Structure 1
Amino acid sequence: MFSLKRLAAVAASVLTVASLAACGAANAAPSSSDSGNDNGTITVNVGTMGTYSPYSIKNTDGSYTGYDLEVLKAVQKVEPTLKFEFHAAAWDSLFTALDANKNQMIANEIGKTKEREQKYIFTKNSYNYSTRNIIVKKGTKGISTLDDLKGKVVGGTVGDNHTKFLEEWNQAHGNPITIKYYEEDFTTVVRDVAAGRIAATVNDPNAALDKAKKQNIPVEAVGKPLSAQPVYYIFRNDAQGKKIRDKVDEGLEKLKKNGELSKLSIKWFGQDTTEESAK
């Protein structure tokens, strides 16, 4: 039979274990950034390349800027329940992190494709129109259209919209272009264009020429824009993703109405590229 002293010791031990368990539960990290803070703020981890200037830039001090990210900072001001934290990764890794819920959205000039729409959700509002041009070595003659690239090697980043556009055109015309695929940063592609290892690439001229200027790579955009497409922020297709998407959409609506979205576009590109007619 337990003595009163021993019974008291057992009871104290049980209370201690229960107290520690409660503390552990209170201090455990939330499984989702959508858990929110005490003030109702939702912390959203945003995947972005950080190397796709002028849209996504990670500075040497670890801070982030670029048009796509500055738009989100503006959204945060008009939707104070959102707090964005940016995380840089390679292109393919952006979607891997989104799938694993390490990030809850991606900001990287992303257009819609059938494959993406089957798996993810997008903002209802676009925040920019991205054009694509042929990019060649500076001074190249005789190339201004895709027809001029028949029989040549053209580089493209695996999985991006510009490469998909090139693939679709190529297939529709009997595959006259040899496409060389790159998984590295886009810098490698434009360097190979400048070195003559490939004849051209197809990409956003703002991104290509910005990178070329900063790294002194002699390339240029030629011909008329091949197309213009709206770009969106992309999210996981679940309840959390829809909640964050709706809040971001509300913010984008406010930025369009108060003119701030147009101001940001003019600041970064010298013109308002938020409407298709501007391209």
Structure 2
Amino acid sequence: MKKTLISTAILALATLMSVPAAQAKEWKTVTIGLEGAYEPWNLTKPDGTMDGFEVDLAKDLCGRIKVECKYIAQDWDGMIPGLNAGKFDVIMDGMSITAERKKQIDFSRPYAGERAGFATLKSSDLAKIPGKGTIVTLSGDATKDKATLDTLREALKGKSVGVQVATNYAEWLAKNFKDVITVTEYKTVGEADLDLAAGRVDATVGDITFYASVLPKPDHSEMTLTGPEITGPVWSEGIGPAFRKSDTDLRDMFDKAIGEAQADGTIKKLSLKWFKIDMSPENKS
């Protein structure tokens, strides 16, 4: 009996040693998941094709990596499940790089920084929150950020604020304001803005680049930014592409390509084209 077990073990070991090592996947096509509804990061044109900062950047990165890019629309709240289920290979959808998300997925280096702010109606008393036109850097530590938080808490007390679900903005509101405001979550920022225009919420909070894109449009003519723009570690390590933890080779390919695009000015050029400001991250090459 013992001899049989030993022989079987030896045979199994020999069989294992004879099997070639698994080869890394040869990436010829990469499918990128995005909302197609987060202008100017990404948007869907009338003919159904995708456009925007991230689409332009993806085309550049895929050219450097020498793979074919394909795009698939995905609701925001299904992004991470869709990636891990293999529905697509990369998320490029204005996704913040956070420690919580790193538990589920991997990120390469960021391709953009992050700034957020509040929007309200021009006729609202919230349009007069102090700090409009300024930029404040928050650490994420409530003690260090107390002066700014106290000003905002006082201004927003008793109000309702709309925010996109499953974002770091939603988490920040819940952490710092839930005792003084009513938070309403939406699947998209656009839905929050519709409720703002209809008077169902008093303000919304979101990415400054999104507001910069939509506020000049006629259907947003009654909206305005209010209070300071907020940047810094409070949000994230930046905006970047996300990958399955198993696809380290693809992550590394994108990491290298983003570094090259940052170094040669491509990211800055695309940022100015779509955002009218330079949102490129600090060069980490």
TM-score using structure 2 length: 0.75
- Per the alignment, residue 232 of structure 1 pairs with 240
Q: Is the 8 A contact 2:161 2:201 kept in 1?
A: yes
Aligned residues: 232
CA distance in 1, matches of 2:216, 2:192: 15
1:66 correspondence with 2:69: no
In the TM superposition, residue 215 of structure 1 has moved relative to its aligned partner by 5.9
Amino acid at match of 1:134: F
Query: Which whole-Å CA distance do the structure 1 matches of 2:241 and 2:218 have between them?
Result: 28
Counterpart of 2:251 in structure 1 is 245
2:30: which partner in 1? 44
- Contact 1:138–1:194 (CA under 8 A) maintained in structure 2: no
Instruction: For 1:22-101, list aligned pairs within 5 A.
Output: 35-36=25-26, 41-80=27-66, 82-101=67-86
The Cα of 1:102 is off from its aligned counterpart by 1.0
Check 1:196–1:209 CA distance in 2 against 1; reply closer, same or farther (3 A cut).
Answer: farther
Gaps of 5+ in 1: 1-33
CA distance in 2, matches of 1:110, 1:52: 11
Q: Do residues 160 (structure 1) and 167 (structure 2) align?
A: yes
> Which residue in 2 is equivalent to 1:181?
185
Higher relative contact order (CA 8 A, sep 6+): 2
- Separation in structure 2 between the aligned mates of residue 156 and residue 102 of structure 1, nearest angstrom: 26
SS in 2 for 1:273: coil
Structure 1 pair 162/263, CA: closer, same or farther in 2 (3 Å)? same
Q: Which among 120, 135, 142 is matched to residue 136 of structure 1?
A: 120
Asked if 2 retains the 8 angstrom alpha-carbon contact of 1:190 and 1:208, the reply is: no
d(CA) in 2 for partners of 1:42, 1:102: 16
Provide the alpha-carbon RMSD of the alignment.
Answer: 2.1
Q: Which amino acid aligns with 1:204?
A: D
Matched, 1:271 2:257: no
Match of 2:201 among 190, 193, 198: 198
Partner residue in 2 for 1:220:
224
Cα distance between partner residues in 1 of 2:49 and 2:25:
25
- For the Cα contact (< 8 Å) 1:209–1:219, is it kept in 2? no
Cα distance in structure 2, aligned partners of 1:254 and 1:213 = 33
Identity of aligned residues (%): 27
Within 5 A, what are the aligned runs for 1:246-261?
A: 246-261=252-267
What code does the residue aligned with 1:139 have?
Answer: S
Closer, same or farther: CA 90–255 of 1 in aligned 2, 3 Å: same
- In the TM superposition, residue 91 of structure 1 has moved relative to its aligned partner by 0.7
Larger Rg: 1
Q: Provide the C-alpha distance between the structure 1 equivalents of 2:218 and 2:80, rounded to a whole number of angstroms.
A: 28
1:244: Cα distance to partner? 0.9
TM-aligned CA deviation for residue 265 of structure 1: 1.1
Secondary structure of 2:47's counterpart equals coil
State the AA in 1 paired with 2:275. Answer: F
SS at match of 1:110: coil
Judging changes above 3 Å, is the alpha-carbon distance between structure 1 residues 60 and 195 closer, same or farther for their aligned structure 2 residues? same
Determine helix, strand or coil for the equivalent of 2:60. helix
Question: Which consecutive residues of structure 2, in runs of 5 or more, have no partner in the other structure?
Answer: 1-23, 130-150
* Aligned counterpart for 1:104 among listed residues 89, 92, 98: 89
Q: Secondary structure at the match of 1:216?
A: helix
3-state SS, counterpart of residue 170 of structure 2: helix
Aligned residue type for 2:191: T
Give the Cα–Cα distance (whole angstroms) in 2 for the partners of residues 273 and 89 of structure 1.
Answer: 24
